[in-house]
Amino acid sequence: MTQIHHYPKLHNATWPGIVGKGPDSEPVISLDQMLEMTAAAEVDGVKFDGVDVGLFDPHFDINSGKEGAKRLAEKVAAHGLEIGSLVAPIWGGPAIGSKADQDTFVDMVKKSCEIGQTLREMGIRPNGIVRIDSASGVSDWAKDPVANSKKIVETFQRACDVAADYGESLAAEGEICWGGMHSWRHMVATLEAVGRKNIGFQADMSHTLLYTMGYNAPEDRILPEGYDWSDREVLKDALRQITAALRPWTIDFHVAQNDGTVHGTGSHDKTGRHCQATDPNGKLVVAEDAGFWLRDEKGELTKAFKHICWDGCMFSNEVMLQQKTWNDILATMIKVRNAHGWS
């Protein structure tokens, strides 16, 4: 499996060591361990180029400022990796909450952008976005969809204006567990309503598959009830519809596998199940289906982002602590780049 393209760069995510872990689940896997396993992965001489980083405890202290950013940069660089997209820790301030909640949300975005700017100035972060969501559950949003969608839009607008001061773009990750973002139609409507040049969509192949199935928004389901997963053409048509709507907004991309079910561990609400790259129950042909996001309707590469990232949230620690897991993931990422990359 040789490297035939140099772009997009291949990144691993560090936050799967935290998401779904902790007091209600398995122990957190440290940032050092995540970096070590990422750096050790190798397939036919090809390695990961970098990591996307969650800026939250216990991996990172969002209040550590430029000094914290410098320590992070040194730690990542020591493994021969670069830094790409960042995840802002906005969950303490739901976008549909009080004014104080919304202020907290925006402040977390501001601090994340400050970190991002410092990392860019240091040269270790050549590209990438700051990831957000509404930090609001679907059931809470559904109590007053119109008013709550308006709050989300207003909060996102404020966050975009702050991010612009740091030269950053925000990407809203479409997951079925976040109110106002829980279906592809709601996601498009939210992005359109925000109306800022520096907001876009973070597409995750696992989560967007759930969009086609209408979880938490049956009215927006595309795949028919009782769909036969062996019929690839029906699935590809559904993916074409989803990507036609969201690809123009997509500025960050997560490669992932999904078995067509939802999953949540610890305190994390149920969302698309991230399967292992080699899971026989996976419903996606990953390298082929990534092309719906990486190429336009004419089949031309969009080159809308310079790196792609594997997201393996909520894998068990037994799985995550095996080096083979990361080698298999890297092999899948290389297949994606070989099919849709450029030099």
At 271 the pLDDT is 62
The whole-number pLDDT of residue 193 equals 98
pLDDT of residue 266: 47
Confidence (pLDDT) at 121: 98
Residue 209 has a pLDDT of 94
- Model confidence over 4-32: pLDDT tens digits? 899 999 999 999 999 888 887 899 999 99
Burial of 233 (0-12, 13-18, 19+ CB in 10 A): exposed
Q: b or e along 40-74 (b: 16 or more beta carbons within 10 Å of the residue's beta carbon)? A: ebebeebbbbbbbbbbbeebbebeeeeebbeebbe
CB 148 within 8 A of CB 184: no
pLDDT at 263: 53
pLDDT at 267: 45
Low-confidence ranges of the chain (pLDDT < 70): 1-2, 262-273
Report the predicted TM-score, pTM, of the whole model to 2 decimal places: 0.95
